[in-house]
Chain A
Amino acid sequence: MGSPYNNIDLRLEAACKELITEGGDFSAITITTGLSDNTREEDCIIATCDSASERIFDSGLWEADCTITLYTNADASSALATHKTRTGNMRDLFMDDGIEASLTGTDESIIVSSVHGYGTGQQIEERFFLSTITFTCILSGN
């Protein structure tokens, strides 16, 4: 099973990046994918597809785990308030009833049939506030 499935993980994280970028709430910070050759800025959102596996043998239906991580530097003024607002906007974007259609509608030629298994997390890493949302996608190539 080769194309269009051989890089479905990279395309899914690119689709998540596109969705965040076009969401409009994050124009002031960098949006990037997990595998990226761009320069990473301090405040950023990283869309990562951690892994993908075929759900049913030879069906072309894949199950992929995604993590979206928001980084906000804690040194800026009102950093925590900013981080809380961004966290809410980021999670609203993905915990949306129409998320499957939104991801399918990106330029990445994927068909997303289900997004489920949401989880959230938060932590402090060095001088950054981190918030995450994790979810599982059922998708196929197009």
Chain B
Amino acid sequence: MSGYLSNTEISTDLSEGGFVPEHLATLFIKRSDFSAATTGDEITLTAAYDATLVGKKFRVSTVTHSEGKIMEVDLVALG
């Protein structure tokens, strides 16, 4: 699956138990490539414009069926 990654926010939050990564991203993809995307699905980023993001795991937080063949997926980082 490939698409356009935008609006990536990178930060960490300190809470009980240690630092929690707060990488938020929005991914625009073709609906036909990933028709079953639902909240809770796990995605590993294998290629991106920013090499530091490669290998990062994200969990789908929101799926928006915005227009036509485009699907907008909001992601939160797992680490």
B30 within 8 A of partner (CB): no
Q: Can you identify 17 A-B contacts, CB atoms within 8 angstroms?
A: A32-B18, A33-B17, A36-B17, A37-B18, A38-B18, A38-B19, A39-B19, A39-B21, A39-B79, A40-B15, A40-B18, A41-B79, A46-B17, A48-B16, A74-B40, A75-B40, A75-B41
* Chain B residues with a Cβ closer than 8 Å to the other chain, count: 14
* Chain A residues with a Cβ closer than 8 Å to the other chain, count: 16
Bound CA span A38–B79, Å: 11
Bound CA span A77–B1, Å: 22
CB pair A34 B42 closer than 8 Å: no
CB pair B42 A75 closer than 8 Å: yes
CB pair A75 B20 closer than 8 Å: no
Chain B 20-46 near chain A by CB (<8 Å), digits 1 or 0: 110000000000000000011110000
CB distance from B39 to the nearest CB of A (A): 8
A84 within 8 A of partner (CB): no
CB distance from B34 to the nearest CB of A (A): 16
Using A42-B78, A75-B59 as known contacts, say yes or no to A37 and B40 having CB atoms under 8 A apart: no
Q: Which residues of B contact A34 (CB under 8 A)?
A: 16-17
Bound CA span A75–B41, Å: 7
A61 within 8 A of partner (CB): no
Q: Which residues of A contact B78 (CB under 8 A)?
A: 41-42
CB distance from A94 to the nearest CB of B (A): 18
Nearest chain-B residue to A47 (Cβ)? B17
The 8 A-B residue pairs with the shortest CB-CB distance, nearest first, are: A75-B40, A40-B18, A36-B18, A46-B17, A38-B18, A40-B17, A32-B17, A40-B20
A44 within 8 A of partner (CB): yes
Q: Which residues of B contact A37 (CB under 8 A)?
A: 18-19
